[in-house]
Amino acid sequence: MSLTIKKIETFPIAVPLKSPFKTALRTVTTASSLIVRLTDSDGFTGLGEAAPTAPITGDTSASIKFAVEQVIAPKLIGASLNQPERVKQIIDTALVGNHSPKAAVNIAVNDLLAKHYGVSLSEWLGGYRQTISTDYTVSVGTAAEMVGHAKQLITEGFDTLKVKVGSQSPFEDLKQVRAIRQAVGPNVKIRLDANQGWHKKQAAKMINQMAQEGLDIELVEQPVPADDFEGMAYVTAHTDTPIMADESIFSVKDALRLLKMDGCDIINLKLMKAGGIDNALKINAISEAFGVPCMVGSMIESQVSVTAAAAMAAAKANIQYYDLDAAMMFKTQPTTGGITHDGAVITIPTDVGLGIEFQTK
């Protein structure tokens, strides 16, 4: 008997953050997102989520809702889950771009499939490990604000900090990183994320200066504009600090192009950029073939898609870095279940699928 997709529903959510999230590209005080729920012919449901991040993915709340309801859903209703590869192809080819709405539906399909096989999503994807350890982001602010936040995070059990830079002059960035390193001591790992805020020579000079001063930066994420692949390769070649690509990588083609150029040392996988779990795993497989490890990160997303990202991260050996603090920033969650955390340590649920329940009002 054929198992088909019968219904696709969307539920917009808006949840205040505990404190403003500031980067070189934007400031967020309330997390807006779209929960997607698929129901199949056996009555099983699968959940997904799409987060609008217009400065990075180009997706807005309105465009995500339209893409899911008016474009993807009509093509997917009646599709057979006995042919999951075909279902995922329908999602990928429904429209050009629109990675976040595709991600939401892809996550929901994988949730459904894992439930039908009676396994957790992480087991469905590979089941390599049960726990992972995330960093926590120190948002852009004054030196005093960033130092205060960094100290607070250490007391909460985080030993790896992701510090946002690139929104002001490189000299100011350097002063803030110095202050944070002095405040947290030598045993805390510091990662920097410039969010495309530097130019290639500026970035190389800055990173090398930090190395000379012994600031011990673990890695630097996306130091130059997303489309400057040559700039990424330049910074990678002219520094010893590992360079991670984020906004430069949306697709398998992007990854292959940059890897062939020796344009990065690490790739950051995000479901909202890749268009879901399956495309992110393809990028991870190519990265692994080049001997390049991956990180899994997220946009400002709730427990739904962060749990999906964590399940994927825990499933694969080549995914060795984790930046999955987004849901921890929410004042409340729109769902129950999913990942749990004790300080930096995230535990992956063993319930079937995502292990998440969503009750509509």
Q: Are 36 and 50 in contact (CB under 8 A)?
A: yes
| 164 labelled catalytic | yes
Whether residue 323 is annotated as binding a ligand: the answer is yes
Q: Parallel, antiparallel, or unpaired for β 356-357 and 336-337?
A: antiparallel
Whether residue 300 is annotated as binding a ligand: the answer is yes
Distances (CA, A) of 279 to 51, 105, 127: 17, 13, 18
Q: Parallel, antiparallel, or unpaired for β 294-296 and 266-269?
A: parallel
Which residue is catalytic, options 88, 115, 164, 273?
164
Whether residue 351 is annotated as binding a ligand: the answer is no
Whether residue 86 is annotated as binding a ligand: the answer is no
Q: How many CA atoms lie within 13 A of 291 on its CB side?
A: 2
Pull the structure tokens for residue 278.
């399956």
Distances (CA, A) of 197 to 166, 193, 194, 346: 4, 9, 5, 30
Whether residue 227 is annotated as binding a ligand: the answer is no
Q: Where are the beta strands (DSSP E) in 281-351?
A: 294-296, 319-322, 336-337, 340-342, 345-347
Give strand pairing partners of 138.
163
Cα–chain-centroid distance for residue 257?
A: 21
Whose CA is closest to 352, among 118, 129, 127? 118
- Mapped onto helix, strand or coil, the DSSP state of residue 305 is helix
Separation CA 180–CA 67 (nearest Å): 42
Which residue is catalytic, options 88, 102, 200, 270?
270
| 270 labelled catalytic | yes
Whether residue 26 is annotated as binding a ligand: the answer is yes
Whose CA is closest to 197, among 154, 157, 231, 153? 231
Whether residue 246 is annotated as binding a ligand: the answer is yes
DSSP state, 4?
Answer: B
Cα–chain-centroid distance for residue 335?
A: 19
Amino acid making up residue 86: R
Whether residue 193 is annotated as binding a ligand: the answer is yes
Pull the structure tokens for residue 360.
């509509």
Q: Which residues are annotated as a binding site for Mg(2+)?
A: 193, 221, 246
Per the annotation, binding residues are: 26, 137, 162, 193, 221, 246, 298, 300, 323, 325
Active site residues: 164, 270
Residue positions in the annotated binding site for substrate?
26, 137, 162, 298, 300, 323, 325
